[in-house]
Chains A and B, each alone.
Chain A
Amino acid sequence: MESNQAKHGLVGPNDPIQRTQYPYVTGTSVVALKYKDGILMAADMGGSYGSTLRYKGVERMKPIGKHSLLGASGEISDFQEILRYLDELILYDNMWDDGNSLGPKELHSYLTRVMYNRRNKFDPLWNSLVLGGVKNGQKYLGMVSMIGVNFEDDHVATGFGNHLARPILRDEWHENLSYEDGVKLLEKCMRVLLYRDRSAVNKLQIAKITEEGVTISQPYSLKTFWGFSAFENPTVGAEGSW
């Protein structure tokens, strides 16, 4: 499990052990909510190298097994490592071929253990993960942070989304959202994030998971309007701002 890089120094065996102390390529917010038939999740496709918008086609939402959907913000390569863990897990789960399968609840718990375990090795996986799914008619939506903090909710968002999208969701989310209304609500959140989060890009995907399975949309852009007066002269009325 532990990489060679972590066991030995970078150059020689006597060099100090190095961990991933900083993320390199990162993705920004993921927003997800429960709707009538399942879970909807949205994430843009940007990959930032520090503050440089280095990649613009990063898929940050992936189906896991039959019943789950995983979205990630944070270090992209760590996300890819997590996907490898999960692929193996699902493979071995399928190999039993006994009618039992890991559902979203089980995967969420597994991810929590992995994340918390790695932070205890002072070698965290630098991600915030969103796990959604439907199994046996039961909707599930939860989050795990890079240090293993985890919870379930009706709607969740990582990173900037926590500050900018959750308040909107708290106002407008309800149990019986239709697919169309769910998508509209997510787009509203993503648009606010696009305006206010400098690492967000205007190319996003929306994923849906229901009892029937996962569908992830083709990448698309949101209509924007940058002519708001607050955008044209943002410092007016902001005392002390430059």
Chain B
Amino acid sequence: MFRNQYDTDVTTWSPAGRLFQVEYAMEAVKQGSAAIGLRSKTHVVLGCVNKANSELSSYQKKIFKVDDHIGVAIAGLTADGRVLSRYMRSECINYSFTYESPLPVGRLVVQLADKAQVCTQRSWKRPYGVGLLVAGLDETGAHLYYNCPSGNYFEYQAFAIGSRSQAAKTYLERRFENFVDSSREDLIKDALMAIRETLQGETLTSSICTVAVVGAGESFHILDQETVQKLIDSFEIAGGEEAPAAAPDSAAEGGAAAEQSGATDQGAADQGPAPMDI
């Protein structure tokens, strides 16, 4: 009758040393539409796919400005994402009130992770069902972090979360080594390309994606739809069937990346490493 004895409570361990409720929360991130992020030395670009719930409704916003120097893209439960964005906004504004300077990104990310961790250790709480890509700039440079419901956080050069994010990850893995010295425009182009990878044949238009930038001399802002459409047109990357602009070393590394991704998929399928190890 019971499929799993150990998943009715966040704080209950399975004999294998896993917390199923936390893993389920990690799954919620994968259900949400994709969000991607990538960074150079000076800029961070966030991108996401806008998916409307029905033909009659508009889509839900997935990229939020937290402060002039920080923004987030979310995948998973949008409601949880908004709560966490509000928390981050208030932490930033309190810090600027006290110190008249921007809150370092890494510190905000740790505070956010600590907040998520508490929910994995209290019987009367549930973990947040949202993954956040946190993009920001501080005195140590440009940063991109991924915060997950388990309370873990990681810093990335480039990353993708949400449904079909593996395709975007494969694209980013193939190219991330060039990102450090990328120009702002090239980063945005790569962001759009990565977003397109998650669409699986659907045509990329400005109406189904959002792109945001933060960088040196440029406070966090979401690019307006016209700008994005112009960029898509100028990059000529709209066509879904068109062969993706292959990276110079794609032949060699593409295979490896594909193998890797295959291995990860398999691992998930036969319940290998717990998802929170990601």
What's the nearest-Cβ distance from chain B to residue A140, in Å?
12
Residue on A nearest B140 in the bound complex, by CB: A99
Residue B27 CB within 8 A of the other chain: no
Which chain A residues border B98 with CB–CB below 8 Å?
Answer: 109-110, 113
Stretch at the interface among A29-37, A100-108, A223-231: A100-108
Q: Which residues of chain A have C-beta atoms less than 8 A from B37's C-beta?
A: none
A98 sits at the interface (CB 8 A): yes
- A100-B99 in contact (CB<8A): no
Residue of B nearest to A100 (CB): B104
The interface residues of chain A lying within 8 Å CB-to-CB of B99 are: 102, 105-106, 109-110
- Check if A96 is an interface residue, CB within 8 A of chain B: yes
Give the number of residues in B that approach A within 8 Å (Cβ atoms). Answer: 12
Interface contact A100-B140, CB-CB below 8 Å: yes
> Is the CB of B124 closer than 8 A to any CB of chain A?
no
Instruction: Point out the residues of chain B lying under 8 angstroms from A103, CB to CB.
Output: 101
- B77-106, CB < 8 A from A: 97-101, 104, 106
CB distance from B109 to the nearest CB of A (A): 10
Residue of B nearest to A112 (CB): B100
Q: Across the A-B interface, how many residue pairs have beta carbons closer than 8 Å?
A: 33
B3 sits at the interface (CB 8 A): no
Give chain A's interface residue range (CB within 8 Å of chain B).
Answer: 10 to 19
Contact of A98 among B97, B100, B104 (CB under 8 A): B104
User: What CA separation (Å) do A100 and B139 show in the bound complex?
Assistant: 7
Q: In residues 9-63 of chain B, which contact A (Cβ within 8 Å)?
A: none
Q: Is B173's beta carbon under 8 Å from chain A?
A: no
Q: Mark B90-130, 1 if CB is under 8 A from A, else 0.
A: 00000001111100101100100000000000000000000
Q: Is the CB of B140 within 8 A of A106?
A: no
User: Which residues on B sit within 8 Å (CB–CB) of A110?
Assistant: 98-99
Query: In the complex, what residues of B have CB within 8 A of residue A105's CB?
Result: 99-101
List residues 137-179 of chain B with CB under 8 A from any CB of chain A: 138-140
- A106 to B101 Cα, complex, angstroms: 7
In the complex, which residues of chain A have a beta carbon less than 8 angstroms from the beta carbon of B101?
103, 105-106, 109
A 112-139 contacts with B by CB, 8 A: 113, 136
Task: Give every chain B residue within 8 A of A109 (Cβ-Cβ).
Answer: 98-101
Q: Nearest A residue to B95 by beta-carbon distance?
A: A106
Within 8 A of A (CB), among B161-215: none
Q: How far is the CB of A63 from the nearest CB of chain B, in Å?
A: 19
Q: Is the CB of A98 within 8 A of B107?
A: yes
How far, in whole Å, are A98 and B110 apart by their CA atoms in the complex? 11
Assembled-state Cα–Cα distance A105/B140 (Å): 17
Chain B residue at minimal CB-CB distance from A96: B107
Tell me, in angstroms, the Cα distance from A98 to B106 when the chains sit together: 8
- Complex interface residues of chain A between 51 and 71 (CB less than 8 A to chain B): none
Query: How long is the Cα–Cα vector from A68 to B138 in the complex, in angstroms?
Result: 20
A106/B104 in contact, CB under 8 A? no
Residues of B within 8 A of A113 (CB): 97-98
The answer for the CA separation of A136 and B138 in the assembled complex, in Å, is: 14
Min C-beta distance of B265 to chain A, whole Å: 34
Chain A proximity of B106: nearest CB distance (Å): 5
Cα A98 to Cα B99 with chains together (Å): 18
Cα distance A100–B102 in the bound complex, in angstroms: 11
CA distance A103 to B100 in the complex (A): 11
Q: How far is B98's CA from A109's CA once the two chains are assembled, in angstroms?
A: 6
Smallest beta-carbon distance A139→chain B, Å:
16
Q: Which residue of chain B lies nearest to A108 when distances are taken between CB atoms in the complex?
A: B100
Q: Complex Cα distance A102/B100, Å?
A: 11
Q: Return the CB mask of A201-236 against B: 1 if under 8 Å, else 0.
A: 000000000000000000000000000000000000
Bound state CA distance, A136 and B140, in angstroms? 12
7 closest A-B pairs by CB: A109-B100, A100-B104, A106-B99, A99-B140, A98-B106, A106-B101, A109-B99
A96-B110, A109-B98 known; 15 other A-B pairs, CB under 8 Å? A96-B107, A98-B106, A99-B139, A99-B140, A100-B104, A100-B139, A100-B140, A102-B99, A103-B101, A106-B100, A106-B101, A109-B99, A109-B101, A110-B98, A113-B97
A: residues with CB less than 8 A from B are 96, 98-100, 102-103, 105-106, 109-110, 113, 136
29 contacts between A and B (CB under 8 A): A96-B104, A96-B106, A96-B107, A96-B110, A98-B104, A98-B106, A98-B107, A98-B140, A99-B139, A99-B140, A100-B104, A100-B107, A100-B138, A100-B139, A102-B99, A103-B101, A105-B99, A105-B100, A105-B101, A106-B99, A106-B100, A106-B101, A109-B99, A109-B100, A109-B101, A110-B98, A110-B99, A113-B98, A136-B139
